[in-house]
A and B are shown apart, each in its own frame.
Chain A
Amino acid sequence: MENNIAIKARNISKTFKISEDSHNTVKHRLFNLFNPPRTKYVPAVKSMTLEIMKGECIGLLGRNGCGKSTLVKLLAGVYPTDSGYININGSTMLMNLGVGMSHELTARENIYVSGSVLGLKIKEIDAIFDEIVAFAELEGFIDTKIKFYSSGMVARLGFSIAVNAGADIMFLDEIFAVGDAKFQEKAVKVFESSWIKGKTVILVSHSLEVIRQYCNRAAFLKNGELKYIGDTEEAIALYLKDNEIIVKSESAEPVVAEEALTAAALSA
């Protein structure tokens, strides 16, 4: 049973310290020893406990600034947690519009580096190399540094690497917005046919259709707290209800302004 758990998180929390005047040089620090910068604490994730099984597809729902992206980064092992512990079984890959690629390297090098970071052997990458290039529709630009690519080309390459190489645990943060309609259709098709099987997927999306269609469980987050995890429909209902309240309270200015502020601070 233990072996079926992909990620086990217990009481994890994360608070961001945002200093108004950042003293990030030694000189500044020395001159301001007795005059510490004003700091603001933003609790992005407050004591969450969750378990994600292998092969599961979990949806994350919540309004902007509720801590989705922070939670994803914690679970992927990119950020350290302030409290609690996380046990990650396998390689992780975080995907949003930009995937871990160096703009100084060519597409070919990026494919090899990313593939290798994701745990593939060189021979395995050789085998799927053409597939990756073809899927990204980048034939003819393989040996160009990706800093000369358009943002769409970079995003397609990232998506293609993720689709074809893929880590054990994939975190997908709003990824179905990449490429033109044809590319999206292709992406969804691959997603359905191969990804859902075998891979553990954590899907962040504001598209309820996507969540409803693919996820066997969903989590609803609000203000950095895990309000609900379980049945997808239930989570979607909670999310819709949350959105409704906010729409209604738009006349009550202070609430909205404060929420917007937290959201801005979190995304910064």
Chain B
Amino acid sequence: MIVKVLNNWYSGSNKLERLWLLAKIEFKLRYYENKLGVFWALLKPIMDIGIYYIVFQVIMKQDVPAFASYLFIGLIIFNFFIESTSGTIQILNTKKYLYEYSNMNKLEIYMSTLLSNVIGFSFNILMFLLYYNFIEPQSLGSNVESLWMFPIFINVFILSLGVSLILSNIFVIAKDINQIWQVFATCLFFLSPVFYKLSSFKEALPNFDYANPIAGIIINARRVMMQGIQPDFELMFFDFGYALSFLFIGLILLNKLGSKAAEKL
């Protein structure tokens, strides 16, 4: 099925152009409409980092080396995941105008929205690199292992796409998946090593980094971006497994439930 979808994808010549166009418009809608504009996209992670830094480093004295960078990389990955999932639950409703009057492939709508999140993510990762290499006092500097960030990011992307597909298609038949996911996402946030010291996280919840797909991704991202070592391949294997199975379930749901979106929503 996936092969068929991909084949459809590249057969049309304007598909990539269309994805990029929709992504750009989506990005513009999100940021340029507000007074702060793109500035907010840069400001938000900084403010988040400030909050968690005060709580966990100043008050609770966790004593993690280079804690600001530690938070930074964890937060931008987690935020990408949340924006791409919570932010897209109602996508079939808000983007109805795209498929209601034509036989456009719905998967393109998801891809374009996620692509616009990728634009934001790229800004953030660039900021991280600048901060880590030039400002962070305890920095070890980036090295060639940082390139592992690409497969790790593909992993987050597939995971987000899969979860987004599942949630937004369930939304077609049950609207309150929205509230349920909010609680679940909060739960996931506190059960991920975003602001905990990794050793205490692993001690308190043994093997949980294998059960929580986003935890492994954050751990690996820190290994390659901050410690300059190779990712934990076993963990990576698990996380790709999760991502691909979610994507698979999501595509099935898109076929079963998503096709009815035009009449149900």
- A→B interface (CB under 8 Å): 16, 24-27, 29, 73, 76-80, 88, 91-95, 99-102, 104-105, 109, 112-113, 116-122, 167
| B101 near A95: Cβ-Cβ < 8 Å | yes
CB within 8 Å of A: which of B92-149?
97-104
Q: Does B54 contact A (CB under 8 A)?
A: no
- Give the segment of B57-65, B155-163, B172-180, B188-196 that binds chain A: B172-180
Q: Report chain A residues within 8 Å CB of B101.
A: 76, 78, 93-95, 99-100
| A113 near B103: Cβ-Cβ < 8 Å | no
Task: Report which of B13, B25, B103, B260 forms a contact with A109, defined as CB distance below 8 A.
Answer: B25
Q: How far is the CA of A122 from the CA of B17 in the complex (A)?
A: 7
Chain A, residue nearest B29 (CB): A104
Query: Can you list 18 A-B contacts (CB < 8 A)?
Result: A16-B263, A24-B175, A25-B174, A26-B177, A29-B174, A78-B99, A79-B262, A79-B263, A91-B103, A92-B103, A94-B102, A101-B97, A104-B29, A105-B25, A109-B25, A116-B21, A119-B14, A121-B14
Chain A, residue nearest B255 (CB): A80
Chain A, residue nearest B13 (CB): A121
Q: Is the interface on chain B under 10, 10 to 19, 20 to 34, or 35 or more residues? A: 20 to 34
Q: How far is the CA of A94 from the CA of B102 in the complex (A)?
A: 6
13 extra A-B contacts, CB within 8 A, seeds A24-B175, A78-B262, A119-B14: A25-B175, A26-B176, A29-B174, A76-B102, A77-B103, A94-B100, A95-B101, A100-B97, A109-B25, A113-B98, A116-B21, A117-B102, A121-B17
Given A112-B21, A119-B14, also A76-B103 (CB < 8 A) = yes
Distance (Å) between the CB of A32 and the closest chain B CB?
A: 13
CB within 8 Å of A: which of B1-48?
12-14, 17-18, 21-22, 25, 29
| A119 near B12: Cβ-Cβ < 8 Å | yes
Q: Does B259 contact A (CB under 8 A)?
A: yes
Across the A-B interface, the 3 shortest Cβ-Cβ residue pairs: A77-B103, A100-B101, A80-B259
Distance (Å) between the CB of A67 and the closest chain B CB?
A: 14
Instruction: Tell me the interface secondary structure of chain A in the complex.
Output: loop
Task: Report which of B18, B29, B177, B180 forms a contact with A117, defined as CB distance below 8 A.
Answer: B18
Task: Report which of B29, B102, B175, B259 forms a contact with A91, defined as CB distance below 8 A.
Answer: B102
| A24 near B174: Cβ-Cβ < 8 Å | yes
Q: How far is the CA of A29 from the CA of B177 in the complex (A)?
A: 13
Given A113-B21, A122-B17, also A100-B176 (CB < 8 A) = no
Given A16-B263, A101-B97, also A117-B25 (CB < 8 A) = no
